Structure formats: C-alpha cells, structure tokens
Amino acid sequence: MTNLIEREIAVSPEDTDVVVSIENVSKKFCRVLKRSLLYGVQDIFTELVGKNRRSDTLRPKEFWAIKDVSFQLRRGEALGLVGSNGAGKSTLLRIISGLIKPDTGCVQIRGRVAPLIALGAGFNPILTGRENIYANMSILGLSTKEIEDRFQEVIDFAEIEDAIDAPVQTYSSGMAARLGFACAVHIEPDILLIDEVLAVGDIKFRMKCHRRLAKLREKGSAFILVSHNAPAILNVCNSAVYLSKGKLITSGSVDSVLQRYEEDLCLGGTEKSVGPMFLPEKPESESTGIDIVSLCFKDRQENIIEMPISGEPASLCVACKVYKKTAKASLCITITAIGGENERILYLTSGSDNEYLEVFPGTVELQMYMPFCCLVPGVYNAKIFIKEGAYSFDAVESFRFTVKSKTMTNQSLFYQPRQWKVMNY
C-alpha cells in the first residue's frame, strides 16, 4: 500500500543534502512458507526476551535478497535502480519506505517519503475516484484543505474526470495507476520511490510524468526509479545503481552503469568464444580443392581482435589452404543469434554481391570487411562455407563469437550508422 514515512536523522553540516543513506543493508527471506512462519515466531520471541537473533547468518532454506548494499541519495538527485528480475530492487525500495526492516545495516531517511511501489494498491475498490483521492492523499500526509486545493490538478493530471465519481473497481489498471501517480506527485514529497510505474499509459502520459518529475527535482525532491526500460532511466535519472542477485555490482553515472548492465544482460550466462578458431589441415588427397584452416576477426590495422565492437569497423577473416585455382569462388556466411529463438540475423555471400573471388594455390585469406559492425552486443554463431556455383569446397558449421559495445544499444535490433546535424535556412 502507498504510505508515508517521515524520519529525521542527525547529519553533519556537510551532509545536509543527503536525504537517504544506505549502509551495508542486508535482508534475507525463507523460501519455505512453514519454515518462514516458524522463523518469524522465533525472531519475535528472541526480541521479546532481549537476545541477539543473529541476523547476519542464514538459516536452512534462507537466502539473501539484499546483501551489504550501500549508497546515498541527495536532495534533487534522481537515481535509477537497475537489475534483472530477482535482483532485489523492489525489496530495497520496501526497506527504504519502511514497509520491511533490514536484517543488518542502517537506513537513514531525512524527510517525507512517498513510495509508489504498487500504484493503486492503496485504493479502496468500492469507493469512487474522488473518495480515494481524499483517502490516499490523507495517508500521504496532506490536510483536507491542502487536498481540496490540489484536487482539480490531480484529476487533470490523471485524465479521468469523466470517471471520477465511479467506483475504482470499474477503472482499468491503467486508470488506477495514473490516479495513484497523480496523487503521489502532487503531495510534492522529499523522497519519491517509483517501482516500474512510468511504463503505465500511452506515450503522451509518460511524457507528462517525465515533465512532472523534472519539476519536482527543480524544487528539491529526490527520487529512486526502478525500471527495466533503459531510455526511461536515461531520460529521468542522473545516477544509477546496478544490483544483481542482491549484491551491488556498480554505481555511478547513468551511462557507465547502464553500459555494464547491458553487457551483463546481453552476454551473461552464455558460453562465449574469444579469439581465432584454428582447424587442422587436411592432406591434399582428402581435400576438395579449398580447405578452411582458421577464422578470426581483425581491425583496420590487420590486428586480430578478440571480438568485434558494435559500430566499429571489423573484418571477418577466413584463412584457406588452396590446392587448385578457382576463378569464381564465393564466400558465404550465415549468422544466427544464440539464445531466444536462434533466429537468423544475416545471410551474406560475395556471389550475391557480384564479388566473385579468384584464388590461386597456396595459403590465402578471404575477408569480409564491415565498415561498421551492425550487430548489437550478444553471442552469435556463424556458418561459413566456400563454394563455386553449386559446388561446395569446405564449410565450418559453427564459429561462435561475441559482440561487445562501447555505447548503449540494447534497445535496438542492430547498429545503425548515423550522422547528426542541424540545417539552418
């Protein structure tokens, strides 16, 4: 339920801008309901008799949802909290809001907190939208006079004036979410906690939310935004924290944190192939005329690189042992993405580009030069074969390679080379 927590902390003069301080905070849960209830009773009894309940150790079937997380939030700062599902983001917001207590560590709050952890969850479905506005904003700390002064602004922001006197149970989930967001932002809290709520509504409403959050920041409000949407984090936040399996992986500028998160999201948990691939040479008696002996990527200076970078030039190099002259060889490459549906990404042949390759006996290297690597970060599999007409000389069924990025590209399916400019007329 959306609720209000006001806590004051003693701070030194140089720390007066710090509104949230998280120091070595940990929280554990139990995966088995009966055992969890038993542990709860034991903990209550231990606290009643004044004993130490050893919160820093795990009991059977327990796990750390949050482990030794520390960071600070300053007045007027917008902090993005990123991580995959189960990383501990919502648990951390609940700890900051006071809904649950940490097992270890210290949480210090300065000012009024408005948690938007489940938009509309605090509404009574039987009451009308009008009645819920008064009830919800009263919980958030406003007087009746203050609610009346802001009532029309809330309705206008939520865009539900036609349904304001209908029971909330008749609202769509989007309408209830918009009303909850409107109530929270119009109390102008010191600290606003937002958990995946900017995904609510159409693009017009989301832009309105972004503008409202910008105004709150100008007035000194600080907020923490949880989202899987990288553009939302970029548009709203000026710093970020990345959690994984309850642990703080990195924190700092939005760009650097999201780039690290993007790399782990795209590349993590998948077997990677790094560097060139070498194949044993066949005796000439077993050769069909051209044999592939190695595969690798090279940069513009012909240096072997471990993996290509999205948006940067690279050459896929196929070294071959040639036993007979071939006037019209064609290098064929099929690239599929590993993971998901293993869908085909590219099918390229030099023959379809009318670039037939003439090779002579000896060792040669066939290259496909890419002025820009258009693949986004991830792990790929390439099938490479050499043929002349319908005749195939040799093939490599699986050359696995990894693509990395120096910029954020996880919202795209491919890298688009581009230039930006302003034309004045």
Q: What is the pLDDT of residue 396?
A: 87
Residue listed under structure tokens 């700390």: 141
Predicted TM-score of the model (pTM): 0.68
Angstrom distance (rounded) from CA 362 to CA 325: 9
Structure tokens at 271: 């077997």
**5-267 and 277-403: identical CATH topology:** no
Q: Which CATH number fits domain 5-267: 3.30.1600.10, 3.40.50.300, 2.60.40.1930, 3.40.50.20?
A: 3.40.50.300
Contact between 236 and 216 under an 8 Å Cβ cutoff? The reply is no
DSSP string, 109-166: E-EEEEEESSTTTTS-TTSBHHHHHHHHHHHTT--HHHHHHHHHHHHHHHT-GGGTTS
What residues contact residue 101 under an 8 Å CB cut-off, 6+ apart? Answer: 95
What residues contact residue 261 under an 8 Å CB cut-off, 6+ apart? Answer: 82, 83, 242, 249
Contact between 21 and 69 under an 8 Å Cβ cutoff? The reply is no
Q: What is the pLDDT of residue 237?
A: 85
Q: What is the pLDDT of residue 3?
A: 37
Q: What is the pLDDT of residue 342?
A: 58
Q: What is the pLDDT of residue 200?
A: 59
Q: Which CATH number fits domain 277-403: 3.40.50.300, 3.90.1170.10, 2.70.50.60, 2.170.8.10?
A: 2.70.50.60
Sheet hosting strand 18-30, strand order edge to edge: 62-74, 18-30, 104-109
Kindly list the domain boundaries of the chain, sorted by start residue: 5-267, 277-403
Contact between 394 and 290 under an 8 Å Cβ cutoff? The reply is yes
Segment-wise mean pLDDT, segments of 10 residues, the chain, 425 residues: 39 66 91 85 81 79 90 91 87 88 89 73 84 86 88 90 91 84 84 74 76 87 83 80 90 83 65 72 85 90 90 91 88 82 79 87 91 86 87 86 76 74 78
**Distance set, CA 140 to CA 37, 115, 133, 402 (Å):** 31, 9, 10, 50
Angstrom distance (rounded) from CA 167 to CA 279: 71
> What are 347's strand-pairing partners?
334
